[in-house]
């Protein structure tokens, strides 16, 4: 038995993609274990998650994402860009398409520039703020002190905690982030973003990702969440550059939030049993 796959990444946030258009390659009950096995960076292919490109009733195509802990995530901003690139390269879609996720339908606008660099802009939807300005945590609060940090909550498709810090590199991320990620305020858990606002207005960000359970090189929904909170609190304008460990993402904030960034194909392969 052979399973074809493609390895892609968005700013270093990397994925194994399995094309299931028209057929099921990995049985439903095995998808989580498949991700657990092949996301392993020593004994598998190595990735932050496995993307399944699937048929969809209400969009051009669908995306499912299984993470290294075998859980299924609602969506992933970098993952959508990678999946869109794959579909675009195979001419499944044109420059504008829709992708159905567990968090809703996302519109993607994409293409190559004159230098052959692929980029995609994802409509992340409306960032809804209420109460004190931030969507409520489970206790009905809008921000909370956790482990000595002021934590803001926002959900651009996936639960996120946003923490502003003065010095990003001095943050003990692997010590503090899991405690925030598993805090009772986030019943579904949360990705945790530590954000430093630089003098030029750029947001530098480090993200601990739920399901991966470690720091990732980039998080598209994390960049969107951080920019949305910073803008809503009056710390930035409505176009924000977010510098992730793997490179920049551009977030546009109007009625909807739009995330723009690259995606690259790394290699194609086959898993042989």
Helix/strand/coil (H, E, C) string of 220-266?
HHHHHHHHHHHHHCCCCCCEEEEEECCEEEEEEECCCEEEEEECEEE
Fold type of domain 143-254: Diaminopimelate Epimerase; Chain A, domain 1 (3.10.310)
Exactly one of 39, 76, 82, 97 is catalytic; name it: 76
- Domain with residues 2-125+260-272, CATH architecture: Roll (3.10)
Q: Answer yes or no: are the C-beta atoms of 65 and 48 closer than 8 Å.
A: no
> Among candidates 157, 153, 125, 121, which has minimal Cα distance to 139?
153
- pLDDT values of the chain reduced to their tens digit, one per residue, 273 residues: 899 999 999 999 999 999 999 999 999 999 999 999 999 999 999 999 999 999 999 999 999 999 999 999 999 999 999 999 999 999 999 999 999 999 999 999 999 999 999 999 999 988 765 443 445 555 554 678 899 999 988 888 888 899 999 999 999 999 999 999 999 888 889 999 999 999 999 999 999 999 999 999 999 999 999 999 899 888 999 999 999 999 999 999 988 899 999 999 999 999 998
Catalytic-residue membership of 219: yes
Going by the DSSP 8-state scheme, the letter that residue 30 receives in this structure is: G
Exactly one of 39, 82, 97, 219 is catalytic; name it: 219
* Rounded-to-5 percentages of helix, strand, coil across the chain: 20, 40, 40
Q: Answer yes or no: are the C-beta atoms of 65 and 13 closer than 8 Å.
A: no
> Among candidates 156, 122, 132, which has minimal Cα distance to 228?
156
Residue entry with tokens 């998080």: 219
Residue entry with tokens 């996120």: 160
This prediction's pTM? 0.91
Going by the DSSP 8-state scheme, the letter that residue 34 receives in this structure is: H
Return all residues near 224 (Cβ < 8 A) that are at least 6 apart: 77, 124, 127, 156, 251, 257, 259
What Cα–Cα distance (Å) separates residue 15 from each residue in 47, 151, 237? 5, 29, 32
Domain definitions of the chain by residue range: 2-125+260-272, 143-254
Residue entry with tokens 């004994």: 43
* Domain 2-125+260-272 matches domain 143-254 at the CATH topology level: yes
Catalytic-residue membership of 82: no
Rounded Cα distance, 99 and 29, in Å: 23
Residue 248: what are its φ and ψ, rounded to 5°?
Answer: -85, 150
Q: At what angle do helices 77-89 and 220-232 cross, to 10 degrees?
A: 130
């Amino acid at each position: 038995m052979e399973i074809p796959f493609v390895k892609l990444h968005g700013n270093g946030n990397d994925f194994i993609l399995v094309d299931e258009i028209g057929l099921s390659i990995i049985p439903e009950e095995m998808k989580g274990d498949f991700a657990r096995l092949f996301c392993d960076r020593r004994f598998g292919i190595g990735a932050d998650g496995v993307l399944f490109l699937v048929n969809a009733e209400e969009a051009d195509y669908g995306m499912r994402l299984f993470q290294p802990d075998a859980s299924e995530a609602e969506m992933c901003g970098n993952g959508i860009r990678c999946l869109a690139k794959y579909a675009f390269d195979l001419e499944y879609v044109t420059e504008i398409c829709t992708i159905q996720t567990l968090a809703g339908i996302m519109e993607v606008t994409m293409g190559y520039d004159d230098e052959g660099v692929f980029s995609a802009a994802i409509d992340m939807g409306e960032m809804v703020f209420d109460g004190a300005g931030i969507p409520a945590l489970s206790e009905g609060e809008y921000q909370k002190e956790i482990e000595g940090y002021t934590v803001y909550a926002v959900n651009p498709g996936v639960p996120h905690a946003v923490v502003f810090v003065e010095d990003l590199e001095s943050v003990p991320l692997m010590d503090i982030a899991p405690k925030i990620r598993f805090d009772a305020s986030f019943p579904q858990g949360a990705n945790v973003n530590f954000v430093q606002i630089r003098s030029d207005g750029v947001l530098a960000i480090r993200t601990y990702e739920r399901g991966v359970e470690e720091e990732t090189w980039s998080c598209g929904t994390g960049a969107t969440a951080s920019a949305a909170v910073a803008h809503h609190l009056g710390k930035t304008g409505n176009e924000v550059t977010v510098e992730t460990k793997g490179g920049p993402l551009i977030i546009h904030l109007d009625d909807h939030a739009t995330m723009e960034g690259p995606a690259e194909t790394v290699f194609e392969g086959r898993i042989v049993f």
